[in-house]
Structure 1
Amino acid sequence: MSDIPGVHSEASTPRSATALPVYLLVGLYFGVVLVKSEAASWYRIQEMFRFESFHMFGVIGAAVVTGMITTALLRRSGVKSRDHQTIKVTDKARGWKRYVYGGLTFGVGWGLAGVCPGPILTLLGAGVWPMLIVLGFALLGTWLYGALQNRLPH
């Protein structure tokens, strides 16, 4: 089982220590892209919520299209993981409640903090120290979801 929801490999094997530098470099690259594209900019996010600029809609749209293409390629190609296991992408669960409630929760948090979870660590790395508060509440929200998961609609 993969540790990525919806992506499963035929067998689970422990990750090697050599994978950590690769993950760190990919995360560093992602952080640089977020900063350079201004996707981590509070001002750009506010422009988007006020419908004053297309910039963030373009960034998000590009990410959605990239994700759709990648998912389609993963489903059709039979590509293998680093551990030589076949990657299978499962269909999402049916129903609307989980997506509406999850989207509303995410959107309210995004609107209040001015940042989605992706750039939190990037902004901390850039020296935006108030993001420590946002990170704390993001971790609290994750913990609360885990504690209340069985009582929430899915």
Structure 2
Amino acid sequence: MTTSPHIPGVHTESTSSTRAATGLLAYLLAGLYFGVVLVKSEAASWYRIQEMFRFESFHMFGLIGSAVLTGMVTTALLRLSGVRSRDGQAITVTSKDRGWRRYVLGGLTFGVGWGLAGVCPGPIFVLLGAGVWPILIVLACALLGTYLYGVLKDRLPH
């Protein structure tokens, strides 16, 4: 076992394995919490999503709007605070590329898939965990689409 050159007396092998285990546990708990929030807020409900696309309810628009606002505030705080990752690396948020085509085409593709499936990619595993077995078809199509993008990405406009 070797000691860390940066921290005297600290063993790197045990520290890194402990850090990896606690990191995985943190991600598992965060994912579980996110899944419960999606189910309880009805964000994974096909009926709520259809209400949104038919402009019959404000529920999903409010939910998405609050998520966008939270993301904007969090991104601004990350840029200003100089916070570091668990490994001590600086966290940076890079700006998006300018141009509209990739965002419009990507948004349309995402929206059509969301409208047809009745679910965006986030709740697929939540619905699977809730026992909604037909979502396996959506999961298979999402994986196929991801694979096809990987195969075709060099020929697509970016």
Q: What is the TM-score normalised by the length of structure 2?
A: 0.87
**Whole-angstrom distance in 2 between the partners of 1:149 and 1:82:** 32
Q: 1:56 aligns with which of 54, 60, 64?
A: 60
Q: 1:136 aligns with which of 137, 140, 143?
A: 140
Q: By percentage of residues, which structure has more helix?
A: 2
Q: Would you say 1:148 and 2:152 are equivalent positions?
A: yes
- Provide, for residues 101-152 of structure 1, a one-character-per-residue CA deviation record: whole Å limited to 9, x for no partner: 1000000000000000000000000000000000000011111111111111
Q: Which runs of 5+ in 2 are unaligned?
A: 1-15
- Pairs aligned (count): 142
**Residue 88 of structure 2 aligns with which residue?**
84
Amino acid at match of 1:116: C
Q: 2:101 aligns with which of 85, 88, 97?
A: 97
Q: Would you say 1:126 and 2:137 are equivalent positions?
A: no
SS of alignment partner, residue 71 of structure 1 = helix
Q: Which runs of 5+ in 1 are unaligned?
A: 1-12
Question: Once superposed, what is the RMSD of the aligned Cα atoms?
Answer: 1.3
**Whole-angstrom distance in 2 between the partners of 1:64 and 1:50:** 21
**Residue 7 of structure 1 aligns with which residue?**
none
Which structure is higher in RCO with an 8 Å CA cutoff and minimum separation 6?
1
Larger radius of gyration: 2
**Whole-angstrom distance in 2 between the partners of 1:61 and 1:18:** 32
* 1:17 positional shift: 2.8
Amino acid at match of 1:41: S
* 1:43 positional shift: 0.2
Amino acid at match of 2:96: K
**Residue 112 of structure 1 aligns with which residue?**
116
**Whole-angstrom distance in 2 between the partners of 1:130 and 1:102:** 25
